[in-house]
Amino acid sequence: MSAASRDQLGAVLGEIGPLAVAVSGGVDSLTLAAMAHRVLGREGALMVHAASPAVPGEATERVRAEADRSGWSLRVVEAGEFADPNYRANPVNRCFFCKTNLYGTIRSVTDRPMVSGANLDDLGEYRPGLDAAREYGVRHPYIEAGFDKAAVRALARDLGLGAVSDLPAAPCLSSRVETGIRIEPETLAFIHRVETLVGAALGTGMDPRRAVRCRVRAAGIVVELDPNSLERLDAGARAVLAARIGAEHPAGLPDAPVRFMPYRTGSAFLTGSAS
């Protein structure tokens, strides 16, 4: 991480002034929160975390732990997206409704400018949440300062955030559910159990290249893995995991054999695809 890049990000945060950081618990938002706290101090940087069935419990615990360790000013809120029928219906722009509820909730607890952890890499993907951010005037300091994901990870190391810098990408659990399948808390709990189970089978250790996604599709349950993880699970290991996943299968989800496939970003949007 160059001093110039870090200074540029600090200048953006300083120009915004007292602000509220939307902190999900992933590497992007945790690192932004840490930087905002260093630039603006406890009084100038308010961290807001939304607890939700779509957010794994360990993400909430990670935010609380970092807030305690670093002395952040933290508010944990309920964003309320599960009371929104548009969100629960899971249209292709579900993230718009999720972020609309999130930013609306943050606005109800503070009138400070809001900032998110979106970075340059996010601009190359379909991100309807950015439309919601635009409606609420949310700023994206990483984008303004020219940071991509690699630069964010470098900044996390530079700030001494330890294992946070190696956290794998972890979008919300609802992103695993194929468009058009209703979002249910029980479904998200199942997804999290499956991903925890598969992650444990792959072994401990943080690896930012690892991808473990349990996709709930109309054609059945698919576990998507990065190439290295997929190669490590032979046919026998996959059969054992599939049986264990089947035992966790909640009522109401598509009943079909569990399949293991290569990870593809955003593949839950492939409505009706059997691949």
Give the type of residue at 114: M
pLDDT tens track for 102-123: 999 999 999 999 999 999 999 9
The token pair that represents 206 in the structure block: 């943080």
Q: How many CB atoms lie within 10 A of CB 214?
A: 24
* pLDDT, tens digit, 9 for 90 and up, residues 26-39: 999 999 999 999 99
Instruction: Return the pLDDT at 130.
Output: 94
Give the predicted TM-score (pTM) of the model.
Answer: 0.92
Q: In the 8-state DSSP scheme, what is residue 128?
A: T
Give the pLDDT score at 78: 93
The answer to whether the CB of 223 falls within 8 A of the CB of 259 is: yes
pLDDT score recorded for residue 204: 65
Q: Tell me what the mean pLDDT of segment 160-179 comes to.
A: 92
Those residues whose C-beta lies under 8 Å from the C-beta of residue 3, and which sit 6 or more positions away, are none
Distance (Å, rounded) from C-alpha 142 to C-alpha 135? 19
* Runs of H (alpha helix) within 17-164: 27-44, 57-70, 85-88, 94-109, 129-135, 141-145, 149-158
Does the pLDDT at position 273 exceed 70?
Answer: no
Q: What percent of the chain has pLDDT over 70?
A: 96
131 to each of 100, 114, 125, 154, 157, how far by Cα in Å? 9, 14, 13, 28, 31
pLDDT > 90: what percent of the chain? 82
Contact 38, 14 (CB under 8 A): no
Instruction: Using pLDDT thresholds of 50, 70 and 90, give the confidence band for residue 205.
Output: low
Residue 263 confidence (pLDDT) above 60: yes
Provide mean pLDDT across the span 152-168. 94
Q: Are 99 and 137 in contact (CB under 8 A)?
A: no
